[in-house]
């Protein structure tokens, strides 16, 4: 459950960088998503036409503070988003490193504390750092969104053990992998590990066939959920024959 919402689809999709509004709409439909992310910068560029498209899709909007580098920028952007989209939801990004686009943990926690106190339901874009996660929960966040890899890199789940530790430590907290997912197999892996959702944008928007790729991600997320529920086998250090030796014919 993401705050008071339990979506059927655990794939969240961004709306930036698509070849055309028509392809964006088709990809969103093909993905089966119920939650789309929108930045105020994207909204500003597209104007009324883009706002009309969002209304037509009739999906839950998760505005984000993409491109913000300070607490003041992020908080101001969140206020504008709440007024524009009439939602308490906000995906909080406070970027601290120009090359990796890694979040600034200190500014992120401060901005989260301010926004939670003002009634926002904050989805913080963070790393797999357990201490930062604890501080964000103390600030009032009820969802955490650790990155898989740097935004737009397509590297997938770069720190598997760190993400496993985060999933185990925050066992009762909804965790959504946000950023770095480049292939459907990576999204399936995240769901197999027990994460509650995957948020991505570039892997679909910049694909040769965004609509087909959106459908592939939908299937991958569903497969990962089913695999987790089915009970994945444990890895072993040595081979174990699937056919028992007992009962085999003796040809000696």
What average pLDDT does the segment 134-153 reach? Answer: 96
For position 13, what pLDDT does the model report? 96
Here the contacts of 51-57 (C-beta below 8 Å, separation 24 or greater) are 53/21, 53/24, 53/25, 54/15, 56/25, 57/25, 57/28
Percent of the chain exceeding pLDDT 90 equals 76
HSE, side-chain direction, 13 A CA sphere, residue 1: 5
Per the annotation, binding residues for 1-deoxy-D-xylulose 5-phosphate are 152, 179-180, 201-202
Q: Which residues are catalytic?
A: 91
Confidence of residue 251 (pLDDT cuts 50, 70, 90): low
Distances, alpha carbon 202 to alpha carbons 15, 127, 251, in Å: 9, 19, 59
Confidence of residue 247 (pLDDT cuts 50, 70, 90): low
For position 244, what pLDDT does the model report? 67
For position 39, what pLDDT does the model report? 86
What average pLDDT does the segment 93-100 reach? Answer: 89
pLDDT tens, 29-85? 999 999 999 987 645 555 667 777 877 888 999 999 998 999 999 999 999 999 988
Q: How far apart are CA 177 and CA 158, in angstroms?
A: 12
For position 249, what pLDDT does the model report? 63
Per the annotation, binding residues are 152, 179-180, 201-202
Q: Residue 148: is its pLDDT beyond 60?
A: yes
What average pLDDT does the segment 226-249 reach? Answer: 79
Flag the least confident range among 10-24, 38-52, 99-113, 180-194. 38-52
For position 198, what pLDDT does the model report? 97
For position 252, what pLDDT does the model report? 63
Confidence of residue 246 (pLDDT cuts 50, 70, 90): low
For position 238, what pLDDT does the model report? 81
Whole-structure pTM over 0.85, yes or no?
A: yes
For position 242, what pLDDT does the model report? 75
């Amino acid at each position: 459950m993401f705050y008071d919402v339990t979506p059927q689809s655990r794939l969240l999709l961004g709306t930036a960088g698509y070849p055309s509004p028509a392809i964006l709409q088709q990809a969103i439909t093909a993905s089966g998503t119920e939650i789309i992310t929108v930045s105020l910068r994207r909204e500003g560029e597209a104007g009324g036409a883009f706002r009309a498209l969002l209304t037509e899709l009739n999906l839950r909007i998760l505005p984000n503070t993409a491109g913000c580098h300070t607490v003041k920028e992020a908080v101001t952007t969140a206020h504008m988003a709440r007024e524009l989209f009439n939602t308490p939801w906000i995906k909080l990004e406070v970027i601290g490193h120009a090359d990796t686009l890694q979040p600034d943990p200190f500014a992120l926690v401060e901005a989260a504390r301010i926004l939670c106190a003002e009634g926002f339901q904050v989805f913080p874009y963070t790393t797999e750092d357990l201490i930062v996660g604890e501080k964000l929960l103390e600030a009032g966040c009820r969802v955490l969104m650790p990155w898989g890899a740097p935004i737009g890199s397509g590297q997938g789940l770069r720190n598997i053990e760190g993400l496993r530790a985060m999933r185990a430590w925050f066992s009762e907290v909804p965790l959504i992998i946000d950023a770095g997912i480049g292939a459907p197999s990576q999204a399936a892996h995240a769901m197999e590990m027990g994460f509650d959702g995957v948020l991505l944008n570039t892997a679909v928007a910049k694909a040769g066939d965004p609509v087909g790729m959106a459908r592939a991600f939908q299937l991958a997320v569903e497969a990962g959920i089913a695999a987790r529920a089915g009970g994945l086998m444990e890895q072993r250090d040595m081979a174990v024959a699937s056919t028992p030796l007992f009962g085999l014919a003796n040809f000696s």
